Amino acid sequence: MMTIEALKEQVVSFVDSKMTELIGNTTTGKLFKPIINVIVKNNIDKADVMLNLLADKNGNIDVISLITQYEDSLINGKEVEMFGIVEIGNGKIKFNIPYFDKTITMDSSDIEELKELLTN
């Protein structure tokens, strides 16, 4: 079980690590990474409405159980857009970075890595 705030912090951390992999040591990447981090942090709260629906009466979410139950549909389902910045389906979860025309894409191995992060 995980609080909504802890879940959001872990997701921001995970996205940051994936951006670091994506950007590498490029000058352009280093220039824009702080801006992208701020955009992600400023927009993660848009997920609160959905997360509050998933939380129990104590404000906790059983994230691992949810991911495990829905992993197949997340990966194999038809692509659906959520919150204007996330696309889920067709074997991937895509996070569209506003204003930069960049996308962070997760596949099944990334989802396993996220599950491991959320259990620690």
For residues 100 and 119, give the distance between their C-alpha atoms in angstroms, rounded to a whole number: 32
pLDDT score, position 100 = 65
Q: Is the pLDDT of residue 7 over 80?
A: yes
For residues 40 and 101, give the distance between their C-alpha atoms in angstroms, rounded to a whole number: 14
Burial label, 63 (beta-carbon count in 10 A; 0-12, 13-18, 19+): buried
Compare 99 and 90 and report the one with higher pLDDT. Answer: 90
36 and 28 Cβ atoms separated by less than 8 Å: no
Q: How much of the chain, in percent, has pLDDT values that exceed 70?
A: 94
Give residue-wise pLDDT tens across range 64-98: 888 777 777 776 777 777 777 788 887 788 878 76
Average pLDDT of the chain is 80
pLDDT score, position 56 = 93
CA atoms within 13 A on the CB side of 73: 6
Q: Is the pLDDT of residue 17 over 70?
A: yes
- Name the residue range of residue 6's domain: 2-119
**pLDDT grade for 99, boundaries at 50, 70 and 90:** low
Look at the chain and report how many structural domains it folds into. Answer: 1
H helices of 1-120, where?
4-23, 27-43, 48-54, 63-76, 108-119
pTM value?
Answer: 0.64
Q: Is the pLDDT of residue 44 over 80?
A: yes
CA dihedral 34, 49, 116, 37 (to 10 degrees): 0
